[in-house]
Structure 1
């Protein structure tokens, strides 16, 4: 009887692919294992076994597998079920989910290897210069990788050269599988057993009397191992004896020492735990008891707790309770910046049980975290990290905490799958019958609507911990301040006054400006021209630290222009401002203050977040300027003043969620102020002090904002009353983009009628020389989501058969943010 395996391949293709198995292979292989298989003419990919059966494929003949890569499954059955849900709900392929879910090191791919043909006989004069160079190099070494040939010829496109050599039968191309993950090994040394006796030891020291450095290593070894039987690292021995590794190597060669290697983890906690008991106040206790009772009824629970109300302590106690039952806990955060503070708090409490997982971790570190979670080891009981954590191979998940659940960074934008981690976490929890808690001081309208309509349980925590008062909010009218000449740069008189006072009292200040760079627009005062990005429809942003004009979409940059590029005038001025300009102005206003900046430009390194936050926590920084990275859940004890530099650029954004987001951002950044006994102060600078949202922020009135925004959403048919699917049509050809979008919109209108909006150009209609056009489908509550998606899929299949639109890509985004 023939056996077959259905495989998920890491490709954006809708189907699984079937391969044949021998009887012995079918007996050994099980679902979730990795197999290396040939796909296409000569490419080899890693596939995940999704199903083993005895039905041969109808359309093609099943190929045999290339090799088995695992001894036991790398992907659990829970994961396969979860991948399937994500691919169906977010309208993407399982291969795309697989690429997002597995650390890259597990996705073995073949690499093209170029070799000379055996006994080739080809006249050298018939080879051009590039071909001759490749052949000459291959005569000196047995094979070369494509990358090595690129370096040899100093050019990127080397495939035409290789193809010509293949045609001339000079070289052949082979595929080689390479493994990306390498376990970390540490070198240890020990004295050979024959020298351990005292007499042999003395004889050895006498022999080395003419080699003082070698003798010193030996004496250091005896002193380090005298009272300890622990293995000794080679590096430690060299450091303590002050000798080089070459001296140690010569002792190994003489057969005095022997070296050996042991595998070690790259991830782990090296500090001590301080398992202090968490003492709740009566409001926290009340909230905790309510949450536990809702969990007993298997309900999704939303914790609406004001900033600094002690939500994290509740999360820690819930995690503690789950660990006692032997289950795993997942703590999801929206930003890597936030993990820095929380990791320390959780590791102080739980020690080695906490593992961190996010994109700033190296390939090898992510593999190790994945393996710990898969083996359900003591080390992987609590996982903390950003949205990709939901794809880890949990064995026995008991609790998911989604902190700051309103955050847009939980939504994946590119590449597919374009999932929302909060919504996916709710489904993941249901699969494991695990408890899930969504926490926020400013819940998203959708979550609060679900709680309002009894889909989720709601727990409120309305008081700050330790009876600390909510910050005093003050709105500063900068329109009037400009008119009365009471502005210094972008700082109002009132804000300067408050910063001075805070610095005098040795308190810290946070300033929030939701734009990085120095200035978003450079403008000629003579002709009005501003430099544009040649690849995107945006103006270039000025960065003063490297005196560059830079595009924030594609990375294009040029040197700062001294004259107008259009008319040659030297009257150039900057318009608008970013975090860099705020920092520059602050240094001029407060030359003695220690100022730091936290935005995308200053946090590119792996530990850069940590350095900035730690310096601020240790009071080495007086004023911290930043973008929305600052707004989320950070806890600083000495911050007494928060300044919002310009509230208007948050409000005036072409998006139906702009007002909700503005409220959330301003409330969150205000919550960083006055978290200890003294009442904090928040200053909001705006040109429009009577705007409804500004007023609601200044009074902290969430319920009024919720009711007003809900009314608008109902009127204009937006979530939570209607679901959305956005189709983005993109291509390098402007007219093709237009034609394809028009065809698609017409086809959709025939089915969904008035619930199709567009096609429309987005605010930035060209990025990296590709033109974009959006179509929005609104789905009423009573309309079947499954049938709607099936219809969209059918229309897109028809679209794919039109030859004229072959070069046009359609991106599907379900529940766009």
Structure 2
């Protein structure tokens, strides 16, 4: 009989921990169930059972588990294997993967609870003031959490006070594990059984002849009952009757109505299925055939389809086939902004089979989606979500679609696991023997390289849907325009003329500027000083709507300065521009038109994206200014002009992917123009109009960009020819960071020779008062990735053993973006 379990704890520790179980528990326990276990001196954690066995641990004595939290496994065997792969590939721990994979509500925390002793005897005059306050509060309520005691006494440290009360045998401290998830309970109303016969009903209406409002509620109840068999929602009845809650209450107290509650999904689909047939044009049919043929031989296929070519319809058809086989489908998107538009399209076809999962959902909503995916018996589902959706407990996954696969938003930066959802999704699909389709108008170099070298299947859509022409792209030389004094603010005369023509024809416009805020630099014209963030190595960005200077790294902010902080001159000006400044200039230029802005500042709430996108679709906004959120595959029918305000700040970025990214961003934002009948127009403003990438964008020359960039990657040893692992060291001590970085770099150079770059400071070398230093390791194709990581692990273990560097943290990022 097995009498031990290995448990994964939600902690950044490398190993699983073994606990003992009784014979009865051994019969019941399965892999993937949650158990509450003691850890350390006094902590209790929720762990996931990874294995039930009978091997006793060698180094320590196993403790017994505290309690079992599930009746059936919460985590599937495939998920456990997937977690293990992510932990080993991205060089992190299973505990960190568990934290990322499970909604917070499933990972219960232990909390100390303060309660009065049952037969406590004490004299109030012997108690100090703060002790008396605690005892008085406990006489009014049965227990208090430590946090509540802190709030009550307005003190950070309350343990000394509680210790004194415990020494006097007045209170006890106990640990309680509490469930964080609360189901949504909805109040329903039904008629009391005694009024169900027709006579009783007429008698009731006669009795209520004087109580008009109550009679009205009862009549509305009957009419609702006649229309539908659904239970009657109390709020709905109240709304239809136009009365208050007190009228309903009095009907309940008279025993005419009965109240009852039902648990309800927060994420239920309310609408109707409006479309059932997907029709392809000849190009879509051809691409669909290529995909099906590729799936005969390979598990992954890349679909290279120009913007607005109808890739989504192909995805829908493939999803439909998978659902008909009784399997689940996963549709991954890089941005939450995109999901809002696509949900409606998917629900129009698949109704309540569509589940949505992303970080703007509340914890309770995420728990419900997780549980819905886990219940495979309830029929096939399609999950649409951002990168974290790969962690859901799929049962029979048949298809994974990765839309806009080139997007860097698929990469998780902090905290660990620093996974890339596109690459991880391919592995996830392989676990289920499912197919993966990647789609993009501007595929990443790595994916295109894999398709060209026959590792992936390949399909192409080279025509826009409805034979609409690709937009006409024009480059405006703003250096020349400045010289000839033809600029109004940040707008060239050419762009203003096009904007005016589009507005006159009632068309909408998108303007792209990849920087939020009003202006990134505030500068004194007398001494040249510009306000810097005290915690990071960056200048503060001016935000006009809140009249503040803000740091985009740590959130530090101060009021806008009227004078220079160094020399007190009042001759200050702003340099550079962000979305907010463009919005302000447009409002001055076109006071009669509605201007909207879409960036991180305007989309903070759960429905932030939805509101802006819906307003733009409903033609309530004439010109929409935004950051790269706008460039993703959004589909606006009435946009005919797209303007890129400044292409240069994309190109001049210290990163080997900067040119590829600029090409993708500009071509994607250009793709928002002219998606219906008329040919769209795109204007790109640049100080360097002859730059190779800008020229390639203007002719939509993906193949040219691919060849050129690939040659550069080959020359300088970058992906897809070499794999990268970046080590970032950070600490509050500048010299410690430097010394530690030198130590690790030397240890790595002894093994990997010239393939180690650095250590060097990143462009922003101090964030939140911590100094950063990077080391880059390049791994050639013929070198074993597993062995390389094993050597790295050994170096890091040796490094962690040096007490002088204990304050320095090392962050390992495999395949950094």
Tell me the TM-score normalized by structure 1: 0.97
Offset at residue 731 of structure 1 (A): 1.0
Q: Are 1:18 and 1:62, in contact at CA under 8 Å, matched by a contact in 2?
A: yes
Match of 1:736 in 2: 736
Match of 1:196 in 2: 196
Match of 2:600 in 1: 600
Matches within 5 A, 1:607-626: 607-626=607-626
- Secondary structure of the structure 2 residue equivalent to 1:288: helix
Q: Are 1:354 and 1:379, in contact at CA under 8 Å, matched by a contact in 2?
A: no
**Rounded Cα–Cα distance in structure 1 between residues aligned with 2:103 and 2:693:** 42
- Secondary structure of the structure 2 residue equivalent to 1:190: strand
**Rounded Cα–Cα distance in structure 2 between residues aligned with 1:448 and 1:550:** 40
Offset at residue 206 of structure 1 (A): 4.5
Match of 2:672 in 1: 672
**Rounded Cα–Cα distance in structure 1 between residues aligned with 2:425 and 2:350:** 23
Match of 1:700 in 2: 700
Q: Please list every run of 5 or more consecutive structure 1 residues that lacks an aligned counterpart in the other structure.
A: none
**Rounded Cα–Cα distance in structure 1 between residues aligned with 2:700 and 2:797:** 49
Q: Are 1:186 and 1:233, in contact at CA under 8 Å, matched by a contact in 2?
A: yes
- Secondary structure of the structure 1 residue equivalent to 2:749: helix
Matches within 5 A, 1:280-679: 280-376=280-376, 378=378, 381-679=381-679
| Coordinate RMSD, CA, aligned | 1.8
Match of 1:60 in 2: 60
**Rounded Cα–Cα distance in structure 2 between residues aligned with 1:224 and 1:392:** 39
**Rounded Cα–Cα distance in structure 2 between residues aligned with 1:89 and 1:269:** 37
Matches within 5 A, 1:7-18: 7-18=7-18
**Rounded Cα–Cα distance in structure 2 between residues aligned with 1:772 and 1:161:** 41
Inter-CA distance 310–211: structure 2 relative to 1 (3 Å threshold): closer
Offset at residue 121 of structure 1 (A): 6.6
Match of 1:681 in 2: 681
Which shifted more, 233-242 or 448-457? 233-242
**Rounded Cα–Cα distance in structure 2 between residues aligned with 1:30 and 1:551:** 49
Q: Are 1:309 and 1:462, in contact at CA under 8 Å, matched by a contact in 2?
A: yes
**Rounded Cα–Cα distance in structure 2 between residues aligned with 1:241 and 1:124:** 56
Which shifted more, 247-256 or 178-187? 247-256
Matches within 5 A, 1:24-43: 24-43=24-43
- Secondary structure of the structure 2 residue equivalent to 1:342: helix
Offset at residue 165 of structure 1 (A): 5.3
**Rounded Cα–Cα distance in structure 2 between residues aligned with 1:400 and 1:465:** 24
Match of 2:97 in 1: 97
- Secondary structure of the structure 2 residue equivalent to 1:582: helix
**Rounded Cα–Cα distance in structure 1 between residues aligned with 2:447 and 2:781:** 16
Q: Are 1:372 and 1:380, in contact at CA under 8 Å, matched by a contact in 2?
A: no
**Rounded Cα–Cα distance in structure 1 between residues aligned with 2:556 and 2:228:** 58
Offset at residue 231 of structure 1 (A): 2.0
- Secondary structure of the structure 1 residue equivalent to 2:661: helix
Q: Are 2:595 and 2:621, in contact at CA under 8 Å, matched by a contact in 1?
A: yes
The size of the alignment, in residue pairs, is: 817
**Rounded Cα–Cα distance in structure 2 between residues aligned with 1:564 and 1:195:** 79
Offset at residue 123 of structure 1 (A): 7.7
Which shifted more, 244-253 or 495-504? 244-253
Matches within 5 A, 1:691-770: 691-770=691-770
Offset at residue 784 of structure 1 (A): 0.7
Q: Deviations over 1:218-269 (max 9, x none)?
A: 3333343345543222112222233322232233233222211112211122
Offset at residue 197 of structure 1 (A): 2.5
Offset at residue 36 of structure 1 (A): 1.3
Matches within 5 A, 1:160-175: 161-162=161-162, 171-175=171-175
**Rounded Cα–Cα distance in structure 2 between residues aligned with 1:220 and 1:638:** 44
Q: Are 2:323 and 2:380, in contact at CA under 8 Å, matched by a contact in 1?
A: no
**Rounded Cα–Cα distance in structure 1 between residues aligned with 2:647 and 2:242:** 59
Offset at residue 661 of structure 1 (A): 0.5
1:791 aligns with 2:796: no
Inter-CA distance 530–429: structure 2 relative to 1 (3 Å threshold): same
**Rounded Cα–Cα distance in structure 2 between residues aligned with 1:168 and 1:432:** 61
Q: Deviations over 1:161-180 (max 9, x none)?
A: 54565567664432111111
Which shifted more, 194-203 or 367-376? 194-203
Inter-CA distance 335–377: structure 2 relative to 1 (3 Å threshold): farther
Inter-CA distance 293–357: structure 2 relative to 1 (3 Å threshold): same
- Secondary structure of the structure 2 residue equivalent to 1:614: helix
Which shifted more, 527-536 or 249-258? 249-258
**Rounded Cα–Cα distance in structure 2 between residues aligned with 1:163 and 1:700:** 72
**Rounded Cα–Cα distance in structure 2 between residues aligned with 1:555 and 1:127:** 44
**Rounded Cα–Cα distance in structure 2 between residues aligned with 1:681 and 1:460:** 24
- Secondary structure of the structure 2 residue equivalent to 1:371: helix
Which shifted more, 81-90 or 270-279? 270-279
Q: Please list every run of 5 or more consecutive structure 2 residues that lacks an aligned counterpart in the other structure.
A: none
Which shifted more, 578-587 or 748-757? 748-757
Q: Deviations over 1:550-602 (max 9, x none)?
A: 11111111111101111111111000000000000011111112110000000
**Rounded Cα–Cα distance in structure 2 between residues aligned with 1:332 and 1:230:** 34
Q: Are 1:2 and 1:20, in contact at CA under 8 Å, matched by a contact in 2?
A: no
Q: Are 2:290 and 2:458, in contact at CA under 8 Å, matched by a contact in 1?
A: no
**Rounded Cα–Cα distance in structure 2 between residues aligned with 1:223 and 1:465:** 48
Q: Are 2:303 and 2:437, in contact at CA under 8 Å, matched by a contact in 1?
A: yes
Inter-CA distance 168–739: structure 2 relative to 1 (3 Å threshold): farther
Q: Are 1:724 and 1:778, in contact at CA under 8 Å, matched by a contact in 2?
A: yes
Q: Are 1:498 and 1:641, in contact at CA under 8 Å, matched by a contact in 2?
A: yes
Inter-CA distance 287–523: structure 2 relative to 1 (3 Å threshold): same
Q: Are 1:372 and 1:379, in contact at CA under 8 Å, matched by a contact in 2?
A: no
**Rounded Cα–Cα distance in structure 2 between residues aligned with 1:591 and 1:568:** 36
Q: Are 2:299 and 2:434, in contact at CA under 8 Å, matched by a contact in 1?
A: no
- Secondary structure of the structure 2 residue equivalent to 1:91: coil
**Rounded Cα–Cα distance in structure 1 between residues aligned with 2:231 and 2:555:** 49
**Rounded Cα–Cα distance in structure 2 between residues aligned with 1:160 and 1:387:** 45
**Rounded Cα–Cα distance in structure 2 between residues aligned with 1:241 and 1:801:** 72
Inter-CA distance 205–700: structure 2 relative to 1 (3 Å threshold): closer
Q: Are 1:641 and 1:673, in contact at CA under 8 Å, matched by a contact in 2?
A: yes
Inter-CA distance 289–490: structure 2 relative to 1 (3 Å threshold): same
Offset at residue 620 of structure 1 (A): 1.5
**Rounded Cα–Cα distance in structure 2 between residues aligned with 1:738 and 1:342:** 48
Q: Are 2:489 and 2:585, in contact at CA under 8 Å, matched by a contact in 1?
A: yes
Offset at residue 739 of structure 1 (A): 1.6
- Secondary structure of the structure 2 residue equivalent to 1:689: coil
Inter-CA distance 552–721: structure 2 relative to 1 (3 Å threshold): same
Offset at residue 131 of structure 1 (A): 4.4
Offset at residue 533 of structure 1 (A): 1.0
**Rounded Cα–Cα distance in structure 1 between residues aligned with 2:185 and 2:279:** 43
Q: Are 1:307 and 1:668, in contact at CA under 8 Å, matched by a contact in 2?
A: yes
